[in-house]
Chains A and B, each alone.
Chain A
Amino acid sequence: MLLVLLDHDRGVLDPTSLQALTAALALDADVDVLLVGAAGHHVVPELAAYGAGTVHVAVADSLTDYAPVAAARAVLDLVDRLSPTAVLATGTPRGNEVLAHVAAFLDLPMAADCVSVTPGVGGHDVVRNRWGGNLLETARVHADLLLATFAPHAVRAEQADGTTTVVEFAVPLSEADTAVRVLDRVGEGAVGVGLAEARVIVSGGRGVGGPEGFGVLEDLAELLDGAIGCSRVVTSNGWRPHNEQVGQTGTKVAPDLYIACGISGATQHIAGCRTSKTIIAINTDKDAPIMGYAHYAVIGDLHTILPALVAATRAAKE
């Protein structure tokens, strides 16, 4: 039996949770799901459509919002009672965080960000992302109980039949278990939400030369109904805010069109945009690494090409 910890925020399911459920059901027909917090009840119908069998909902009076150690306690409680062969979670910040607490409590290894998981007897095989997915590592997990998280978007969520049963249980918590918890929610997120959802991204790197240089990128983005992205050189110079950074330590995007202007194409940048449907590079250097990732390229100075492209695009739209 596999236990799968799914991520919801106040009763709104993280979309990668359904992927994790599909991935787990592909490994074993016998999958139990854990949702932490009473608000978890809200997502049960959605999970039922994706083939969830038994869904455990962990509740406690002190569990009013996300609290990582409390969530780990709920996992430990089920591990004790159900003796699963693996605890799997979706590889969101919360999924990785809670499972790492479980691993620390049990002093067991944990494999994060796995694109494939093969539970075994006395040991397990996983394939996991390194360097933001530019490298894949095949690894052996030496433990009876496998603890692993799934890389987001490694599989597509698929609807499935089944009978869903909900079991609510009270998880005993000490004060320390909820000492670190969400206390409040404020303002704007730092994740580039606009960026992650944009169909077109006009992205600038060091070649843009400074904050003023982004004006013409903004004009093009507006004409194409797109968003602005950038490289880390741009954010570390303070030219643009960090929520526009694309890459391994920025936002991962997959738009229909990604236009990389004055971006060399370091693997850590590519890690954030490699799955874009079409990549266009505008670069003075015909040998820049970006040429190995882009579908199309224009060689030359972005400061002359982009104004002409803006004018021509505007004309074409009229």
Chain B
Amino acid sequence: MNIAVCAKRVPLSGGRWVLTPDGTEIDTSGAAMGFTVSPHEECAAEAAVQLVEQFGGSSTVISLGTSEAEEQVRGLLAVGVDRGVIVETDGREWDPQATAAALADQVRIGTPDGAYDLVILGTEAADTAGYQVGIRMAHALGWPVLTNVKGLSITDGVARCERAVGSHREVYEVTLPAVITVKDGINIPRYPSVPGRIKARKKPVDVVPGERPEPLLEKVRLELAAEDQRSAEILGTGVEAVPALVEIFKNIGVI
């Protein structure tokens, strides 16, 4: 089974977000700033690695972003994905329609091991949360798709998928080849081992150029959510603060 995982490099700050002076980007120049992929996509990669362990074949991570996305691609190779493809951009954002089209093109090309049977994505990207790239890819490929998946097992080319609705889980079946978008909690992604990291350095990562169309969903500006500019009232240090806590419990009526 050949599986593609789509994952996006996104900034991660230790504390609050800071925006660039023109208010159109997150300022990623700060010292506390790192980069990561969404937990949903870590889970997508873990699911792909587990399925290849079960059925054989190979897994490929496809990422549309700047050449720096290699850091996140190698990170996923370190947990067992076999190879990577970066669709390289100039750093400007692509809208979900353009992103899906470019990712679907890579899926159509296939892998050295043959055509893809399954594409796994996150349900929504960490930063832009468009809730659509997987569905658009499926339409472009003519494949069935299911989103929000929190349980996945495959038998005889049919994916049995579960998703959570209120107090129960719904069961669906999706026939491969298919696109599935998953949610954090579908599995517990493994941490990269030292040998895993060493192997990842030698795994192939192809870089192909991306051609950005004008966005139809066009970002105009960003702003920080208005609330929570608090500074906590410090009740004390250690157990001496316990009576004050109990007082608060009484005041807000929880005891």
Could you list which residues of chain A lie within 8 angstroms of chain B, going by C-beta atoms? 9, 66, 68, 93, 96-97, 100-101, 103-105, 107-113, 125, 129-143, 149, 179-191, 193, 199-200, 223-226, 232, 235-236, 238, 242-243, 245, 248-250, 256-257, 266-268, 270, 274, 277-278, 280-281, 286, 289-301, 304-305, 308-309, 312-313, 316-317
Beyond A93-B147, A289-B16, 7 additional pairs, beta carbon < 8 A: A133-B225, A135-B222, A149-B131, A190-B164, A289-B14, A292-B231, A297-B235
**Within the assembled complex, what's the spacing in Å between the Cα atoms of A199 and B249?**
12
CB distance from B118 to the nearest CB of A (A): 14
**Main secondary structure on chain A at its contact with chain B?**
mixed
Instruction: Tell me the B116-158 residues at the A interface (CB within 8 Å).
Output: 123-124, 126-132, 135-136, 138-140, 144-148, 150
CB of A180 within 8 A of CB of B172, answer yes
Residue numbers in A under 8 Å from B167 (CB-CB): 188-189, 191, 193
The 10 closest A-B CB pairs, nearest first, are A242-B185, A190-B164, A249-B184, A104-B139, A300-B238, A109-B216, A297-B232, A100-B132, A294-B232, A96-B131
CB distance from A68 to the nearest CB of B (A): 8
> Which residue in B13, B218, B237, B250 is a CB contact (below 8 Å) of A298?
B237
> Which residue in A180, A293, A305 is a CB contact (below 8 Å) of B146?
A180
CB of A316 within 8 A of CB of B148, answer no
Instruction: Tell me the B162-219 residues at the A interface (CB within 8 Å).
Output: 162-175, 183-185, 188-189, 215-219
Complex: chain A residue closest to B130, CB-CB: A112
CB of B188 within 8 A of CB of A309, answer no
Stretch at the interface among B55-63, B79-87, B239-247: B239-247
CB distance from A286 to the nearest CB of B (A): 7
Is B220 in the interface zone, CB < 8 Å from A? yes
CB of B228 within 8 A of CB of A293, answer yes
Residue numbers in B under 8 Å from A313 (CB-CB): 246, 249, 255
Residue numbers in A under 8 Å from B16 (CB-CB): 267, 289, 292
Instruction: Tell me the B22-40 residues at the A interface (CB within 8 Å).
Output: 26, 38-40
Interface centre among B138, B215, B252 (most CB of A within 10 A): B252
Residue numbers in A under 8 Å from B128 (CB-CB): 130, 137
> Which residue in A105, A188, A193, A298 is a CB contact (below 8 Å) of B241?
A298
CB of B188 within 8 A of CB of A289, answer no
Interface centre among A100, A140, A286 (most CB of B within 10 A): A100
CB of B242 within 8 A of CB of A183, answer no
CB of B217 within 8 A of CB of A183, answer no
Is B234 in the interface zone, CB < 8 Å from A? yes
Total contacting residues, chain B, CB less than 8 A: 88
Given contacts A136-B225, A312-B243, contact A297 B234 (CB under 8 A): yes
CB of A186 within 8 A of CB of B237, answer no
CB distance from A98 to the nearest CB of B (A): 10
Residue numbers in B under 8 Å from A135 (CB-CB): 17, 26, 222-225
Residue numbers in B under 8 Å from A97 (CB-CB): 131, 135, 147-148
Residue numbers in A under 8 Å from B223 (CB-CB): 135-136, 138
CB distance from A194 to the nearest CB of B (A): 9
Is B92 in the interface zone, CB < 8 Å from A? no
> Which residue in B40, B136, B145, B246 is a CB contact (below 8 Å) of A180?
B145
CB of B222 within 8 A of CB of A137, answer yes
Residue numbers in A under 8 Å from B26 (CB-CB): 135
Residue numbers in B under 8 Å from A299 (CB-CB): 234, 236-238
CB of B95 within 8 A of CB of A109, answer yes
**Within the assembled complex, what's the spacing in Å between the Cα atoms of A297 and B174?**
49
Residue numbers in A under 8 Å from B14 (CB-CB): 266, 289
> Which residue in A113, A184, A278, A292 is a CB contact (below 8 Å) of B248?
A278
CB of B232 within 8 A of CB of A181, answer no
**Within the assembled complex, what's the spacing in Å between the Cα atoms of A131 and B230?**
20
Interface centre among A109, A131, A199, A316 (most CB of B within 10 A): A131
